[in-house]
Structure 1
């Protein structure tokens, strides 16, 4: 079967997809487990040599720890026989040392388990200047980027055309000297295509209409003020449909604009716009007023946009209208020079997309209050200001593709917004960019070099065990009636899983077909970027009339994350996350269940959180719970909302978490931990014996399960990053993903024998699943 590549836009516009972690970018502790042993490069051999040296040091450390630990008189499990030598003893030392070296054993685990599990890690791991935070995910992502760099720079005589295209894209990105030589000349054709940028003086108002400018920007997947995209119909998950929604902003989120015009972050944003415009040739004497007016416009757009808290009800966001009805309901004043039907038709009927649209085409409007007010706001501003703002959004996004002086301007802005003081290394930015945009081609190389095929079978087995544990929890659920329980059991059984990668990426012919319309070169980076943006837009929109292929695998294998998709009712675990400390064949099961097992349970629970519960087993938006059960669920969820909403974040000067926006992830964290621990204990019961202890580790495997779970979230973050997470994030910071979840876990309290009313064992516990 011919598969079509699903674009980046398909992922980002997926109202039904949630991820395990929000960061976009862990340490592979034992490279011998992940790198292909055949035909190693010089660099790989050097790395192996270094690992062997480290291994000797670790063995000495573990032996020392083992001797010292026998002298300590603390709560431990009864003695066990020595750890098995199969697998080889050297492999057992890596997880043991990784576990113990992060602990702060001076802290009572019943009073602050995060500090107990991660205290030493936090003190030893200083946040790099180019990062706003540092966590275990970031460490693993850094290592994945190293692998990507190696495979993208490796010269191969015989490789698929798709891989060559990805390597050419990477080469053009890392060629800093040529990017400097070309300067800003690469921008000129783009600005001419857009009809100019008013603040540069190369614009004629008579030639400008809002419709034409939005269409031109959409060609490059840039869609300010009106976000038009194609996605699965939420109420009929076998077909696709058009959507329009409010768009993103120049700053990280809507709440940044609610701080007021004099806020230091808003001022930094305004300075960024002025300086980028000036670098591109704007008149310094007039640019200040131009930028002020376009930021004023963006403030008004932010104020009429729906808050994240109001966008959790999928039914409220599902408003089907024909284009004719849209034109009637959201009538643009003549002064705005915008017309809905030509807007849709010019984008969709273009020679590239080739989909015929009439005024009877149905579109899902996801932000009715926003569109009711949008044109009233636009009518207050001149065509010049509107055009300045729209082109600015394109130029802001492209500044990272221009010479280093533009990166310097972004770095100054990012210092205020994220707390970083230097940009990431160019090769890291380039490796990440290529993986984000040609991820299946990169994945072809990644899985052959760095993926242990045993992980697929092991993960599949664990998914089965986790699914069984969830069904057990359903049976013991006290707030769900039998009718709804039966349907929930059915939905859980219908959950589809995708693990590691799909085999078709190893087929040259099939992989080449996926990227047959891509044209990249190793020289002109800016042109490559524009081409990739255009392909993402075209490939997504032209799928409007295609049926949904529910077996399609679209996530880049070299991704350190996991996902649940509501409209596919699917859980996904790319190869990138199936690495230590989440998973390793050399780790005991307690660590694997405390790692990837919790991730699996988290994603399964997403199918039954405040958003996932709105979709049935076939992925259709439908009320399949009784009203009484929904009310009871909301009562259980309210406990989670209040618990997490009362956590104060010290790095953000005591700001409290947003319990509403983080509820889905918090429910999934709590359910995932409970499922995975139950699945682990079921596994132990089935084998008839406890696992043998890790050498040098005084904790039993029930305790190790919880320690490894917590250490996944070891992290340090800057004040700016903490504020950003609170204002825009759906995930709680790592500290509270540990503390909040374990406070609700009776199994944790039992494992560590925590006294009643200790901080980690409060009187009231929250439980949804």
Structure 2
């Protein structure tokens, strides 16, 4: 519930693996370990910077035919995906490895003390995890507090009370719940209910008769059986009859899947914002009882909820109706809830080593990972998840100088000026819409580096004695923190990323841009880089996030974050016509390793943001100093022998997306994720860029200089 809905994340490629997708790989190749004080920082001398760029390239490739190969070919062939990963990138993964080691050092060093001689809360949490996570056989201690609730399920209100308790501990069951700014009243918070409750990545996994999906369902059925057996040992369920119950649980999820809409349909906020009065909802859901357990005063949400898919909740009503008289219905729903509680706990390492491995074996099948991450990586990830702001404070103090923040803010200001020029030149916009867009751009709230109010977790008790107790306490704390927002003024200082995260986001409901310290690192950004590399790297990311305020979703929110129609009908029609070109373009893209094509509708917002991000960053770069001259070399002598400044800009951009994927994980991404695979995040925007074609003297009608180009945001 901590994470707000409808925040667009630049690098979220596999959100479902956020906790487990961590590992260390090839650090020695990119980290200068010669200086004890800066052993985690990448090399900064000109030769090392140049070597990092040139070594990744395959300069035998034709940049006008396959620029992805030209920029990334040698890197793709010389690297391997670490066995505990689903994908590996030259940018996000390498920086993530570096930051992971930095945070490990903090958790095992400075954060073992609070400065007054006592262990800090993050240090205690990490130590308790190292001591106890995944050790020994089955440990059902974490499940014990739920036992009485699972054995007292005689009517719908009892199930509703249990559901609220499960949602409070992050168990994904029946539907999702979250607190965010009210999109129709952006001065208030709202409580959002979203379709959910599925244990497979995509709704189609429940219906497809392709051999791979049939096999996935059989393996999932086995997982359900095994976790129901664990629930029986924990006395949440009877100890017998799990095989038949598992089949019924899968049938229940299939019913839910049939009522969900695919992710691309949820991208339209006009359709997915559906406010409903609590007293208008069916008594079968017992929403007042649900809110009471969570500690939510209905007055704090004006007696209303926001639903993303009302028809899905009609199906939930049908499932909940008749529980008081239908014993078999109660038995199946009880099994479903027990399965999701046990799965959530097992995946967090709370039930012992055997159960952790049980969940991992299924993830192996879905995502293709070869082995579990080392224990310290799991514990470091969980410490970041639950006490990440306190970890972030230590990270900023040691690893993020104020000069880097100031440099990033200056560059971001240049990108913003460039985007204002882009908006001013769009002739397909009428004057009123154009001016309103420029006003929205100028109203963006910028957050760079870290929050000024990092949480110190004063109201959270952590002990080295109990990892399970620490996780339970941390989850309860984060729930209280999220729900405390309801009924309060909007906190404009609030961040939804920690300083040490390698990511960035734009929030349409807050009209804000957020760039944590974690992404302000090489190879995205460095004071040792030529301008071309900084603008092609972090500059394109800044432009990308800024563009989300004007993509197919973000353009529906005004400068104050209000979901409203502020464009003229004519401008909307022109926009949609020009955007369709990108849908059609990306629909033609298919990676070599999978049999499905990119979904142009699902990825439209990210594709448009990539295209405009490159454009505005390039224009900002050309307006800086001597960069306006074509064909001049970069100030780095080694790079100057191989590339012009303009060429280096596009190489730096492309190398952000040098990415290796496991085939299984790539398929999941293409079905569920709004980001296109890396090679198409290069080919899509650069093939539509006249500036790219000019920089590499691409012949007309070549792959990267097609005769017909999409014209939105040129």
Greater Cα shift, 377-386 or 611-620: 377-386
**Quick check: 1:114–1:738 contact (8 Å CA) kept in 2?**
yes
What is the CA distance between 1:552 and its match in structure 2? Answer: 2.4
Q: TM-score, normalised by structure 2?
A: 0.90
**Quick check: 2:68–2:654 contact (8 Å CA) kept in 1?**
yes
CA distance in 1 between counterparts of 2:40 and 2:136 reads 39
- Relative to structure 1, is the Cα distance of residues 194 and 530 closer, same or farther in structure 2, using a 3 angstrom cutoff? farther
CA distance in 2 between counterparts of 1:235 and 1:373 reads 26
**Quick check: 1:605–1:668 contact (8 Å CA) kept in 2?**
yes
Secondary structure class of the residue paired with 1:710: helix
Q: Report what 2:107 is aligned to.
A: 152
CA distance in 2 between counterparts of 1:448 and 1:565 reads 27
Alignment pair present for 1:545 and 2:487: yes
Secondary structure class of the residue paired with 1:238: coil
What is the CA distance between 1:18 and its match in structure 2? Answer: 3.6
Secondary structure class of the residue paired with 1:230: strand
After TM superposition, list the pairs within 5 Å mapping 1:376-395 onto structure 2: 376-378=318-320, 382-395=329-342
Alignment pair present for 1:699 and 2:643: yes
Structure 1 unmatched ranges of 5 or more: 1-8, 33-42, 56-89, 197-202, 333-337, 350-354, 506-510
After TM superposition, list the pairs within 5 Å mapping 1:327-338 onto structure 2: 327=282, 332=284, 338=285
Secondary structure class of the residue paired with 2:500: coil
Alignment pair present for 1:173 and 2:129: yes
**Quick check: 1:214–1:223 contact (8 Å CA) kept in 2?**
no
**Quick check: 1:304–1:374 contact (8 Å CA) kept in 2?**
no
CA distance in 2 between counterparts of 1:727 and 1:50 reads 36
What RMSD over aligned residues (CA atoms) do the two structures have, in Å?
2.7
CA distance in 2 between counterparts of 1:97 and 1:477 reads 40
After TM superposition, list the pairs within 5 Å mapping 1:7-86 onto structure 2: 9-11=1-3, 13-23=4-14, 24=18
Q: Report what 2:79 is aligned to.
A: 125
Which of the pair has the greater relative contact order for Cα pairs under 8 Å at 6+ separation? Answer: 1
Q: Report what 2:203 is aligned to.
A: 254
- Relative to structure 1, is the Cα distance of residues 412 and 16 closer, same or farther in structure 2, using a 3 angstrom cutoff? closer
Alignment pair present for 1:714 and 2:658: yes
CA distance in 1 between counterparts of 2:584 and 2:387 reads 42
Secondary structure class of the residue paired with 1:245: strand
**Quick check: 2:72–2:658 contact (8 Å CA) kept in 1?**
yes
Choose the corresponding residue for 1:681, options 596, 619, 622. 622
What is the CA distance between 1:17 and its match in structure 2? Answer: 3.9
Choose the corresponding residue for 2:188, options 222, 231, 239. 239
Secondary structure class of the residue paired with 1:572: strand
Alignment pair present for 1:756 and 2:696: no
Alignment pair present for 1:571 and 2:518: no
**Quick check: 1:407–1:423 contact (8 Å CA) kept in 2?**
no
Alignment pair present for 1:418 and 2:367: yes
CA distance in 2 between counterparts of 1:486 and 1:215 reads 46
Secondary structure class of the residue paired with 2:506: strand
What is the CA distance between 1:403 and its match in structure 2? Answer: 1.6
**Quick check: 2:508–2:549 contact (8 Å CA) kept in 1?**
yes
Alignment pair present for 1:345 and 2:292: yes
How many residue pairs were aligned? 686
Q: Report what 1:317 is aligned to.
A: 272
- Relative to structure 1, is the Cα distance of residues 182 and 19 closer, same or farther in structure 2, using a 3 angstrom cutoff? same
What is the CA distance between 1:485 and its match in structure 2? Answer: 0.2
CA distance in 1 between counterparts of 2:624 and 2:84 reads 43
Alignment pair present for 1:278 and 2:220: no
**Quick check: 2:249–2:333 contact (8 Å CA) kept in 1?**
yes
Secondary structure class of the residue paired with 2:623: helix
Alignment pair present for 1:449 and 2:395: no
Alignment pair present for 1:289 and 2:281: no
Alignment pair present for 1:533 and 2:475: yes
What is the CA distance between 1:704 and its match in structure 2? Answer: 0.5
Choose the corresponding residue for 1:224, options 173, 185, 196. 173
Q: Report what 1:68 is aligned to.
A: none
CA distance in 2 between counterparts of 1:172 and 1:620 reads 44
CA distance in 2 between counterparts of 1:267 and 1:640 reads 38
- Deviation per residue, 1:477-522 (Å, 9 max, x gap): 12111110000011111111111113444xxxxx53xx11211112
- Deviation per residue, 1:528-573 (Å, 9 max, x gap): 1122222222221122110102132342000000100111111111
What is the CA distance between 1:258 and its match in structure 2? Answer: 3.2
- Deviation per residue, 1:318-337 (Å, 9 max, x gap): 2222111223xxx53xxxxx
Greater Cα shift, 487-496 or 90-99: 90-99
Q: Report what 1:82 is aligned to.
A: none
Secondary structure class of the residue paired with 1:227: strand
CA distance in 1 between counterparts of 2:688 and 2:136 reads 58
Greater Cα shift, 708-717 or 526-535: 526-535
Q: TM-score, normalised by structure 1?
A: 0.84
- Deviation per residue, 1:399-449 (Å, 9 max, x gap): 032222122212211121001121111111211221122221011111122
What is the CA distance between 1:247 and its match in structure 2? Answer: 2.1
CA distance in 1 between counterparts of 2:117 and 2:209 reads 51
- Relative to structure 1, is the Cα distance of residues 475 and 274 closer, same or farther in structure 2, using a 3 angstrom cutoff? same
What is the CA distance between 1:345 and its match in structure 2? Answer: 3.1
Q: Report what 1:305 is aligned to.
A: 260
CA distance in 1 between counterparts of 2:568 and 2:156 reads 56
CA distance in 2 between counterparts of 1:271 and 1:439 reads 35
Greater Cα shift, 533-542 or 640-649: 533-542
What is the CA distance between 1:158 and its match in structure 2? Answer: 4.6
Q: Report what 1:86 is aligned to.
A: none
**Quick check: 2:188–2:489 contact (8 Å CA) kept in 1?**
yes
CA distance in 2 between counterparts of 1:235 and 1:207 reads 32
- Relative to structure 1, is the Cα distance of residues 324 and 48 closer, same or farther in structure 2, using a 3 angstrom cutoff? closer
After TM superposition, list the pairs within 5 Å mapping 1:392-541 onto structure 2: 392-400=339-347, 401=349, 402-505=351-454, 511-512=455-456, 515-541=457-483
CA distance in 2 between counterparts of 1:50 and 1:348 reads 44
